[in-house]
A and B are shown apart, each in its own frame.
Chain A
Amino acid sequence: DAGVIQSPRHEVTEMGQEVTLRCKPISGHDYLFWYRQTMMRGLELLIYFNNNVPIDDSGMPEDRFSAKMPNASFSTLKIQPSEPRDSAVYFCASSFWTELRNEKLFFGSGTQLSVL
């Protein structure tokens, strides 16, 4: 398996522009997570999905952020309009969970976002 695939690896945009980050989870995983990492706050959970359904979006900073998972193999995180304070590394991760045991969390390589 290729692992969790994120694109793009780097994104540089101007304030006010729309940004779309993409993620392909590991096949068979039923949980998908979007995280944001900054120097000040470390890793923060933005939103997670179970079986393509958003379960907890309380970490999404504001209405400018939205996430979708139209099918089991694809998710997007969109920022519209983007602001300089959105500059961070955005990670997607996936895992497979059962009642009896929990699995490792598998991360994508991240998208480094710079909003100028």
Chain B
Amino acid sequence: KNEVEQSPQNLTAQEGEFITINCSYSVGISALHWLQQHPGGGIVSLFMLSSGKKKHGRLIATINIQEKHSSLHITASHPRDSAVYICAVSRKNTGNQFYFGTGTSLTVIP
């Protein structure tokens, strides 16, 4: 069983739609990370969360520690948001070790 599960695996949206990507994890964590990977492969760290909510532009990330769940929201989606979004957790008591979800492939259609 994967320690980090993401849903959906694939998502297609019309430009302007509100998008939600979900991440559930089964282990104790010290932080949860949302990463973005564009076609061409580069990976960028979007957010690091250990509690509550963070916002950056049109992106919002939330985490519920008790439920072991996080969501990434994109408001007013745009074709340039098309990418793979990856959830990753860093585990407690295992040093700086990261576990990754398999990613959500998002396509935003003009």
Select one of B43, B48, B97 contacting A107, CB under 8 A.
Answer: B43
Instruction: Say whether, besides A45-B97, A45-B98, A55-B95, A110 and B41 are in contact (CB < 8 Å).
Output: yes
Give the residues in chain B near A42, CB-CB below 8 Å: 86, 100-103
Select one of B41, B42, B88, B102 contacting A105, CB under 8 A.
Answer: B88
Which residue of chain B lies nearest to A30 when distances are taken between CB atoms in the complex?
A: B96
Which residue of chain B lies nearest to A96 when distances are taken between CB atoms in the complex?
A: B96
CA distance A45 to B90 in the complex (A): 12
Interface residues of B in 66-110 (CB under 8 A from A): 86, 88, 90, 95-103
CB pairs A–B below 8 angstroms (30 shown) = A31-B96, A33-B98, A42-B101, A42-B102, A42-B103, A43-B86, A43-B88, A43-B100, A43-B103, A45-B97, A45-B99, A48-B95, A50-B95, A56-B95, A89-B41, A93-B43, A95-B96, A97-B95, A97-B96, A102-B31, A102-B96, A103-B48, A104-B33, A105-B33, A105-B45, A106-B45, A107-B43, A107-B45, A110-B41, A112-B41
Given contacts A50-B95, A95-B96, A104-B48, 4 further A-B contacts (CB under 8 A): A44-B100, A89-B41, A107-B45, A110-B41
